[in-house]
Amino acid sequence: DSGVTQTPKHLITATGQRVTLRCSPRSGDLSVYWYQQSLDQGLQFLIQYYNGEERAKGNILERFSAQQFPDLHSELNLSSLELGDSALYFCASSVAGGGPYEQYFGPGTRLTVT
Amino acid sequence: DQQVKQNSPSLSVQEGRISILNCDYTNSMFDYFLWYKKYPAEGPTFLISISSIKDKNEDGRFTVFLNKSAKHLSLHIVPSQPGDSAVYFCAALNTGNQFYFGTGTSLTVIP
């Protein structure tokens, strides 16, 4: 158990819909990262927040947005969903905002868009 | 644009022997390289990292080698154990704090 929790575990929704994925970091960690893992793909870095502020941005689509709240939990919002958005979405946390500090990954949320 | 590549989707090794997992990258501006291990139905777990100014880092049975001129890194596991069977991802971190992951290599250690 990494200490990072993600809800829900599974999500099935239709194209065009909007969903919110939630992540609670390990106690004491200030950074939250979001990743997408599609079938046969590596992990794609989406975005990082550090202590409530956006720190780094990867290949995140404009239809996707994220935020980190004062209690440090984070939400990833996916809108106008397409079939290609079906993937495993991971959240990770680390104590620091930069550098190769160890990231602790949650178990992921599996999103299926039908 | 796949900046980090793992060209071997799978690898099988006998228990007790050395496992060598390879990774290539295209961007010479990466600051750090990392290896993660992933079991089914779990998130990745950090294994070991190396700074771009070093060529070797060792942690117990795990050693990472970096060849900057070839833009290549490798993870050596010695001796390999059945519990090492997992998918291994290499990742690179740039100065903008963006992470790039490879597609993973599935390692099977045969008892």
From A45, which residue of chain B is nearest by alpha-carbon distance?
Answer: B99
**A83: Cβ contacts below 8 Å, ≥ 6 apart:** A15, A113, A114
Query: Are A43 and B89 an interchain contact pair (Cβ–Cβ within 8 Å)?
Result: yes
Mean pLDDT of A44-52: 93
Please state the three-class secondary structure of A74-96 as a single string: EEEEECCCCHHHCEEEEEEEECC
Q: Which pLDDT value is given to residue A59?
A: 84
Q: How far is CA B40 from the centre of its chain?
A: 17
Residues A55-93: tens digit of each pLDDT: 999 989 999 999 999 999 999 999 999 999 999 999 999
Alpha carbons A86 and A41: distance in angstroms, whole number: 12
How far off is chain A from B111, nearest CA to CA, in Å?
26
Give yes or no for A52 touching B (CB within 8 A): no
Total length of chain B:
111
- pLDDT tens digits along B53-99: 999 999 999 999 999 999 999 999 999 999 999 999 999 998 888 88
* Residue B45: exposure state from Cβ atoms within 10 A (0-12, 13-18, ≥19): middle
Interface contact A35, partner B, CB < 8 A: yes
CA B100 – CA B5 distance, rounded (Å): 10
Contact yes or no for B43 and A57 at CB 8 A: no
